[in-house]
Amino acid sequence: MHPLDIINKLDSTLFDHVEKTRAMALEDGALSKKHKLLIALALDAAHGAAAGVKTLAVMAQKSGATKEEILEAVRVADYIAGVGSVYTAANAFQDLF
């Protein structure tokens, strides 16, 4: 189940736009997909989105990120956005690591 299934049902044009934007943002370029996923993970941690952190951690691992790289991304989030980022990440990592 996709988390935006209801949006796809109600407004497929919006859903398609979001999916194309996601694909464009995460494709390999000057930054690798792995590094882009780590950036996204740090941003989700900073915004309190534990489910997003968990999903992005799994995606980052599949793109070659190590546990240590993922945790360093959380350190960046903590530095920029505060300790709430660490609590969000801890919640996301409960059954992951």
Q: How far, rounded to the nearest angstrom, does the alpha carbon of residue 8 sit from its chain's CA centroid?
A: 21
Residue with tokens 């350190």: 75
According to the model, what pLDDT value does residue 14 have? 97
Mean pLDDT of the chain: 96
Quick one: 18 and 50 in the same domain? no
Quick one: 19 and 63 in the same domain? no
Quick one: 57 and 79 in the same domain? yes
Determine the Cα–Cα distance for residues 8 and 49; give it in Å rounded to an integer: 21
According to the model, what pLDDT value does residue 26 have? 97
Q: Domain range holding 22?
A: 1-28
> For the chain, how many structural domains are there in total?
2
Exposed / middle / buried, residue 92 (Cβ in 10 Å: 0-12, 13-18, 19+)? buried
Quick one: 35 and 65 in the same domain? yes
Quick one: 20 and 44 in the same domain? no
Quick one: 38 and 24 in the same domain? no
